[in-house]
Structures are given as structure tokens and as C-alpha cells.
């Protein structure tokens, strides 16, 4: 299959690599030194999103935010200019569910199918082809794309119609953010109380407070390893999506709002490009602790 892949960042590079390794013809755009290995392995670099779409049957997007998706799809020399009737666009970025429905409708008007398929699992999940993929779109289109998803992820679910994948991802990001904040708060409390945070974490892992975030991100917090698997800056963007939607829906998300404010503080402290487990540094700063 001829697959266009636009968005060769920390997540996109390994995802595209799995498709190429499976024998698909891969068309890419904006190749940088970090993604040159894909071209060396056989991917074909194109000069624009339009050129990618002209050469591909399926176009996958993995870019940072809603405006980026809109520009790639509908901007000058964008994907929409190169699509043909019956093509498929799969947006694996994490963006606004409302905008997603609009983008899908605009493409449907020219006979192009659309799936929103945001992912969870971070860089490790992308490298290991073990991502969780949350998909919105028609069942028959999902079935068409499933073999591609299976090359990139393990837990693959069609949630519902277009936009429902993005809604699931926003819900995921709420849970992850609030749990990271809770773990960071607990370990900061333990340290300020004079206990060894590593031993506290070990004790908690055997009880009801145990979680994957306590296991993995708690370890990062203790070891001070904040190289980004998922940047605070991007997680703040996802919480902004949640709060924007909540205003429209008239839903109260008080703890999401407070965690978003902590992430704003993290950016003010210069930590926006650290892993989201680095949120503990913000809580330590508020506590007057040295991390």
C-alpha cells in the first residue's frame, strides 16, 4: 500500500518506521536529520503535503496541535489539494474533537474518508509498536485501516463516530495528568516529611495506590530522569482541549483546571520541554524544596 506519513517527530518517526518495515511504500514530507534514516531505508521524500497525497492511497498525520492539522490538510499545497475520491486520511494527532468533525466533513465533501485515531503510550509505545489507539469513524473504514493500526499498536479500539477517538484521548489525558500530579504531590509530601520517597513509592506499589504512573513516572521523579517521553508543553495543550470542550458542554472539570495551571507554572519555570513527570519540580518549587 502507498502510505503518506506527515509528522516525523518523536512519536511519528518510529510509527512510520513500522509501516515501512512491513513493506508498505512510504511517502514523507519535511525530512530532517533525525528522520533521514527513513529515507535511507526506502521512504520517498516529497516536497509538500499535496505531493504526498497525490502519491498515496492513505495519508496519516501525526502533528502537534489542531492548527497544525488544519494547515497540513487545507493550507497552500496541503493534503486536500492532492487527494482523490476514495482516499483515506487518518489523523493520529491529539486535537480538538470539534475541529475533527469539521475536517472530516470538509473531506467527505470531496469523497475522502476520515478517521481520527489519537494514540497513547508515549515514545516507548511508539518504538515498540505497542500504542493504544482510540479510533473515531465508520466501522467499514476502521476495518480498512485496522491492518495499519496493528503495525503500530496493541490496544486498538473503535470508540464510535468521527471525533469520538479524540474525545477518548482527551479523557485519557485528563486521567494521566491528574494521576501524575497526585504521584508528584505524594512524593513531594513524603520528602518534605523526612521520609525516603523511593521507599515510600516501593511501599505504595504493594497497595491500592499502585498504578502504572506510580510505577513508571514515580521512578522518573525519584531518579530525576526528565528527558521527554511526553513533554509538559504538549500535555498542557491536551488539557486546554479538555477545558475548551468543557466550556462548550458546560461541564465542570475543577481538578483538570488546577493541573493545567500547575503546567502553566512549569512552563514559566522553563520546564515545558521536560517529560510530564517533571511536574514534580513545580510542586517542589511551591514547597520550597530543592530537586
- Active-site residue among 169, 191, 237, 274? 169
Q: Is 169 a catalytic residue?
A: yes
Q: What is the 3-state secondary structure (H, E, C) of the chain?
A: CEEEEECCCCCHHHHHHHHHHCCCEEEEECCCHHHHHHHHCCCEEECCHHHHHHHCCEEEECCCCHHHHHHHHHCCCCHHHHCCCCCEEEECCCCCHHHHHHHHHHHHCCCCEEEECCEECHHHHHHCCCEEEEEECCHHHHHHHHHHHHHHEEEEEEEECCCHHHHHHHHHHHHHHHHHHHHHHHHHHHHHCCCCHHHHHHHHCCCCCCCHHHHHHHHHHHHCCCCCCCEHHHHHHHHHHHHHHHHHHCCCCHHHHHHHHHHHHHHHCCCCCCEHHHHHHHHHHHHCCCC
**Catalytic site positions:** 169
Amino acid at each position: 500500500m502507498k502510505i503518506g506519513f506527515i509528522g516525523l517527530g518523536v512519536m511519528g518517526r518510529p510509527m512510520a518506521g513500522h509501516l515501512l518495515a512491513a513493506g508498505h511504500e512510504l511517502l514523507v514530507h519535511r525530512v530532517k536529520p533525525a528522520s533521514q534514516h527513513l529515507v535511507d531505508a526506502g521512504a520517498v521524500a516529497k516536497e509538500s503535503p499535496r505531493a504526498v497525497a497525490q502519491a498515496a492511497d492513505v495519508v496519516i498525520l501525526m502533528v502537534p496541535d489542531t492548527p497544525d492539522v488544519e494547515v497540513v490538510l487545507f493550507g497552500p499545497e496541503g493534503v486536500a489539494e492532492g487527494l482523490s475520491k476514495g482516499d483515506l486520511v487518518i489523523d493520529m494527532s491529539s486535537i480538538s474533537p470539534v475541529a475533527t468533525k469539521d475536517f472530516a466533513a470538509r473531506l467527505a465533501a470531496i469523497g475522502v474518508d476520515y478517521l481520527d485515531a489519537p494514540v497513547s503510550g508515549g515514545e516507548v509505545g511508539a518504538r515498540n509498536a505497542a500504542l493504544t489507539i482510540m479510533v473515531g469513524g465508520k466501522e467499514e473504514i476502521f476495518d480498512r485501516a485496522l491492518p495499519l493500526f496493528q503495525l503500530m499498536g496493541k490496544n486498538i479500539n473503535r470508540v464510535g463516530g468521527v471525533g469520538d477517538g479524540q474525545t477518548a484521548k482527551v479523557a485519557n489525558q485528563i486521567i494521566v495528568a491528574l494521576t501524575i500530579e497526585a504521584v508528584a504531590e505524594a512524593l513531594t509530601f513524603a520528602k518534605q516529611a523526612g521520609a525516603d520517597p523511593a521507599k515510600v513509592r516501593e511501599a505504595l506499589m504493594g497497595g491500592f495506590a499502585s498504578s502504572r504512573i506510580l510505577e513508571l513516572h514515580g521512578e522518573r521523579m525519584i531518579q530525576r530522569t526528565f528527558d521527554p517521553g511526553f513533554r509538559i508543553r504538549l500535555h498542557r495543550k491536551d488539557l486546554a482541549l479538555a477545558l475548551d470542550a468543557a466550556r462548550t458542554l458546560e461541564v465542570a472539570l475543577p481538578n483538570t483546571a488546577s493541573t493545567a495551571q500547575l503546567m502553566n507554572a512549569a512552563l514559566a519555570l522553563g520546564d515545558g520541554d521536560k517529560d510530564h513527570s517533571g511536574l514534580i519540580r513545580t510542586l517542589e518549587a511551591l514547597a520550597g524544596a530543592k530537586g
